[in-house]
């Protein structure tokens, strides 16, 4: 393991250097107006071809943007794991009302719940402080108050009105794909509701720690948006439980949350591309890591899958964190969502994967236009949705 880790670090450092070289080459190409993306296996010009030709070099195996838009041949899911870093990245200036998005280490200050926490624990991060409180019976009423404040704060958050990372993430995936989130905030559902109003069918969404906006009907096993009538019995869907940070989470205790984990496990077994966006995989959440490891299997058996990590932490740290999951040749680290595969090949990462990595074709990009307003963005997506036909209209809620 130690040797593998060292080898990994050397390879990660070499890859980081290569990426810098590639970025410089990409910038140079952009200046001369040529393609901004050079896949590793793209055909190259033979040595006896003239170097002073004036017409562009033709790549017989190229895969154009139009071909990508028309191609919906891949049915396996792209799986995205979301953590608190994704919500913070989506709302750097705060939510629609300017409320800050906390991560675990600044949650106590951001939510101003310090007075509810014993003085001796206030300097700890929320995870450690809460776990300590939970283990002391005399502090259980204070724990409940903390939970109420957290639920209230997250339930009050609203996505800013203009399209942001959440809208773009949701629109870049097809109904066959899966987003599994650890976040309690309602942004994912709000982004889906915004898209849903114009008839768009989003990917499957899974809430691994519960969510303030998710409701369920225990009798019928229906999961949906909180307070919306159950499609079977008509009663409003009850709020789901939030899973709070204690060292040994038992995901199997809550049937709704356990169902979400089982669904994620199935998706991970069949995915070709895993995107981990702003999720820190805290070591204390051993249950989550064990479940991931079990579903993913050993990295040697996942040599053909692609993993990309969107995170602002140093690459070495991320490589160590995900060491058990990553095959050396198939991972990428991006600082921004807009550099990842979903933003460069929206709704077609599977088809792009097949053409680039299996067919060794030169692939054009189809970058998601991040500056467009909602109506213009919807129009831009038109040809992609049209090509998908009935698939784009698949039902969102599996059990409804």
Give me the residues that bind Zn ion (CB under 5 A), please: 217, 220, 230, 232-233
Choice between 91 and 217, CB closer to Zn ion:
217
Choice between 118 and 236, CB closer to Zn ion:
236
Closest separation in Å from C-beta 281 to Zn ion = 35
Closest separation in Å from C-beta 192 to Zn ion = 21
Please choose, from the candidates 185, 192, 154, the residue with its C-alpha nearest in 3D space to the C-alpha of residue 170: 192
Residue 165 C-alpha from the chain's centroid: 10
What φ, ψ does residue 38 adopt, rounded to 5°? -120, 95
Q: Is 395 helix (H, G, I), strand (E, B) or coil?
A: coil
- Cα gap 41→319, rounded to integer Å: 24
Choice between 220 and 332, CB closer to Zn ion:
220
- Backbone conformation region of residue 115, classed left if phi is above 0, alpha if psi is from -120 to 50, else beta: alpha
- 35 C-beta neighbours (distance < 10 Å), count: 17
Closest separation in Å from C-beta 211 to Zn ion = 19
Choice between 27 and 232, CB closer to Zn ion:
232
- Cα gap 159→361, rounded to integer Å: 39
Closest separation in Å from C-beta 18 to Zn ion = 54
Choice between 370 and 399, CB closer to Zn ion:
399
Closest separation in Å from C-beta 193 to Zn ion = 21
Cα distances (angstroms) measured from residue 55 to each of 82, 291, 334: 45, 54, 35
Closest separation in Å from C-beta 97 to Zn ion = 33
Count of residues for the chain?
400
Choice between 147 and 220, CB closer to Zn ion:
220
Closest separation in Å from C-beta 400 to Zn ion = 10
Query: In the 8-state DSSP scheme, what is residue 23?
Result: H
Choice between 215 and 278, CB closer to Zn ion:
215
Closest separation in Å from C-beta 301 to Zn ion = 40
Closest separation in Å from C-beta 235 to Zn ion = 6
DSSP string, 123-176: TS-HHHHHHHHHT-GGGHHHHHHHHHHHHHHHHT----SS--HHHHHHHTS-TT
Q: Convert 203-247 into a string of H (helix), E (strand) and C (coil).
A: CEEEECCCCCCEEEECCCCEEEECCCECCCCCCECEECCCCCCCC
- Cα gap 354→235, rounded to integer Å: 45
Q: Quick one: tokens of 255?
A: 């049937």
Choice between 171 and 237, CB closer to Zn ion:
237
E strands within the chain? 78-82, 178-181, 204-207, 214-217, 222-225, 238-239, 273-277, 306-310, 331-334
Choice between 108 and 217, CB closer to Zn ion:
217
């Amino acid at each position: 393991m130690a040797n593998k880790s060292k080898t990994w670090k050397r390879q990660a450092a070499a890859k980081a250097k290569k990426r810098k070289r590639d970025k410089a080459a990409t910038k140079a190409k952009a200046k001369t107006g040529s393609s901004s993306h050079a896949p590793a296996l793209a055909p190259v010009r033979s040595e006896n071809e003239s170097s002073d030709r004036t017409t562009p070099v033709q790549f017989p195996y190229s895969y154009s943007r139009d071909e990508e838009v028309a191609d919906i041949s891949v049915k396996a899911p792209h799986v995205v794991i979301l953590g608190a870093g994704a919500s913070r990245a989506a709302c750097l200036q705060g939510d629609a009302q300017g409320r800050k998005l906390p991560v675990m280490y600044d949650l106590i200050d951001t939510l101003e719940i310090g007075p509810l926490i014993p003085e001796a624990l206030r300097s700890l991060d929320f995870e450690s402080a809460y776990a300590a409180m939970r283990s002391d019976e005399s502090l259980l009423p204070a724990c409940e108050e903390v939970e109420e404040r957290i639920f209230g704060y997250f339930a009050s958050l609203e996505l800013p009105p203009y399209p942001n990372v959440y809208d773009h993430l949701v629109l870049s995936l097809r109904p066959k794909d899966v987003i599994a989130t650890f976040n309690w905030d309602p942004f994912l559902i709000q982004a889906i509701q915004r898209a849903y109003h114009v008839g768009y069918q989003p990917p499957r969404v899974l809430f691994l720690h519960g969510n303030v906006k998710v409701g369920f009907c225990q009798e019928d096993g229906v999961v949906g948006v909180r307070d919306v009538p159950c499609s079977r019995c008509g009663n409003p869907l009850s709020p789901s439980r939030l899973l709070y940070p204690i060292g040994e989470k038992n995901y199997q205790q809550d049937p709704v949350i356990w169902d979400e984990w089982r669904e994620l496990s199935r998706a991970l077994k069949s995915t070709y591309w895993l995107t981990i966006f702003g999720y820190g995989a805290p070591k204390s959440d051993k249950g989550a890591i064990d479940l991931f490891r079990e579903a993913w299997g050993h990295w040697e058996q996942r040599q053909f899958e692609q993993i990309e990590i969107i995170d602002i932490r140093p690459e070495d740290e991320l490589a160590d964190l995900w060491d058990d999951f990553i095959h050396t040749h198939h991972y990428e680290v991006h600082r921004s969502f807009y550099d990842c595969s979903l933003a460069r090949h929206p709704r077609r990462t599977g088809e792009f994967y097949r053409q680039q990595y299996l067919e060794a074709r030169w692939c054009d990009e189809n970058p998601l236009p991040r500056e467009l307003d909602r109506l213009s963005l919807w129009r831009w997506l038109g040809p992609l949705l049209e090509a998908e036909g009935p698939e784009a209209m698949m039902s969102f809620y599996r059990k409804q």
